[in-house]
Amino acid sequence: MGLSQSFNADLTFHTDFAQVEADQEVVNLSRFSLFFPEKRQFFTESAGIFDYGQATGATGGPGLLTLFYSRRIGLRDGQEVPILAGARVTGRAGHTTVGAMNIETDAATATGTGAPLPRANYTIARVKRDIFSRSSIGAMVLNRTGGGLANNGTAGVDGVFTFGKHLDVMALGARTFTPDRPGRDWAGAMKAKWTSDRFETGVGYLDIAEKFNAEMGFVPRTDIRNVTGQAAWTPRPKWRGVRQLRFNIDTSYYENHAGRKESAGTGYDFTLTQQSSASLGVSLDTHYDYLDEDWLTSGGRIALGGYRWNTLRLRYSSNQARRVYGSLTAEDGGYYNGDKRSYQAEFSFLPLETLLVENFYRRNRVVLPVTGAYTTNVLSTRISYSFTPALFLKSFVQYNDQTRTASANVLLWFIYRPGSDLYVVYNQGWETDAPGPQNLRTRGRSIAVKLTYWLSR
């Protein structure tokens, strides 16, 4: 609802996210947590106001220092936690943008262990002020109480400064407050990037202390110093059918605060983009990773120590704007003291203006000298059909042989009046001990009906 011409308030009670599509199944072959995008509408609306710490490396990405990651609210260890109520206020006054949010989650019981998950409260406040022509400075404060854990708070300041047409500089600093983790609880980052149509280059520095504990953020690594660098040449040759070439190199180096090298890598990449927007690329990546203890992976154990390996990657992508789209990526190289070969394919087609079919497949083949070889496969198909502009049907089916699970999510969405919706959602999961549909066993199913109604003045 509108508080004024510049400020809006959003309220939610006993929030249900039944219509939200399941996450894409993935196999994590790294030692660190994966970043999954937010899909819940209450959190995606006005999400840009709460951005902080994004793209802290020289090459962008979700970054290693994201103070607010909304999936920490209402989700815990992969389990959904009920949201009792929430409120959000966002707006702009002159050159200042403001956002504030408070969410209360209900008590729950952990699936599997049966452990209690007490109520928790989450507060986020963000302010950002535009300065000069295209620069800004800002601050963010976050606080979590309850949840059966010690209270946790985070505070940070950031700034983005643009100089001329080509140079952007970002800097930020943050500190966390956790009673049982005092000292060495700070983090900071700086990044500079120069971009033009033919050249680009960037450098970045990230420092996260050992006890930095941003529980409402996404910070997969602590006790690190990270230096990054990137440079690219992007000429536009007058070759028939060719729009642009891209020669890129990026490098990253990590060490802990004791000065020990933790990991490093350099990527060499060449991409050719055609006038049709199709692209062809080849890259070579070098890797180094140090394990300070034995690592038990999904397919075996890798002993502590330092490891070096290389990966060669080939990829092709057609024009996504056409009725038929496809992409293929093939990788071959090492994996710690073993080898890894991966393939990824995407294929989508639009046989009718109202029907879209999307398919995804990822295969990994890992060979380790002690524990042997293992293979992982992930498949998914999404089918979307519009009966009318107000009636929409979507199904999303996935299979992951690493977790030996399959799932189906079917959504019927009817917009019966502007701003008012009817959702009918069916979910079913299966387990399997062996490949093939004949081995599937139902592990759960549910159906939900959700009605929303827009109250207008």
- pLDDT tens by residue, the chain, 457 residues: 556 778 888 888 888 787 888 888 999 999 988 888 898 888 988 888 998 855 444 333 456 789 999 999 988 877 788 999 999 999 999 999 999 999 999 988 877 777 788 899 999 999 999 998 889 999 999 999 987 788 999 999 999 999 989 999 999 999 999 988 778 899 999 999 999 989 999 999 999 999 999 999 999 999 999 999 999 999 999 999 999 999 999 999 999 999 999 999 999 999 999 999 999 999 999 999 999 999 888 777 899 999 999 999 999 999 988 999 999 999 999 999 999 999 999 999 999 999 999 999 999 999 998 778 899 999 999 999 999 999 999 999 999 988 889 999 999 999 998 888 999 999 999 988 766 666 778 888 999 998 888 766 5
Decide if 36 is inside a domain: yes
Decide if 250 is inside a domain: yes
User: Are 327 and 346 contacting, i.e. CB atoms less than 8 angstroms apart?
Assistant: yes
For residues 1 and 10, give the distance between their C-alpha atoms in angstroms, rounded to a whole number.
Answer: 6
213: CATH: 2.40.160
- Rounded to the nearest 5 percent, the helix, strand and coil shares of the chain are 5, 60, 35
pLDDT at 53: 58
Beta strand ranges found along 114-185 (DSSP E): 116-117, 120-131, 135-146, 152-163, 167-177
Give me the phi and psi of 394, to 5 degrees please: -140, 135
DSSP structural state of residue 403: T
For residues 389 and 410, give the distance between their C-alpha atoms in angstroms, rounded to a whole number.
Answer: 18
Q: Give SS3 for 439.
A: helix
Decide if 285 is inside a domain: yes
Domain total in the chain: 1
Decide if 331 is inside a domain: yes
Taking the alpha carbons of 34, 38, 43, 49 in that order, is the dihedral positive or negative? positive
Q: Which domain covers residue 329, as residue numbers?
A: 2-289+305-350
Task: Please provide the DSSP assignment of 339-401 as one string.
Answer: EEEEEEEEEEEEEETTEEEEEEEEEEEEEETTTEEEEEEEEEEEEEEEEETTEEEEEEEEEET
Decide if 233 is inside a domain: yes
DSSP structural state of residue 100: E
For residues 283 and 135, give the distance between their C-alpha atoms in angstroms, rounded to a whole number.
Answer: 35
Decide if 382 is inside a domain: no
Give the distance from CA 3 to its chain's centroid.
32
Task: Please list the residues that pair with 444 across neighbouring strands.
Answer: 429
For residues 413 and 451, give the distance between their C-alpha atoms in angstroms, rounded to a whole number.
Answer: 10
Decide if 101 is inside a domain: yes
Decide if 395 is inside a domain: no
Close Cβ partners of 348 (under 8 Å, ≥ 6 residues apart):
324, 325, 326, 356, 357, 358, 359
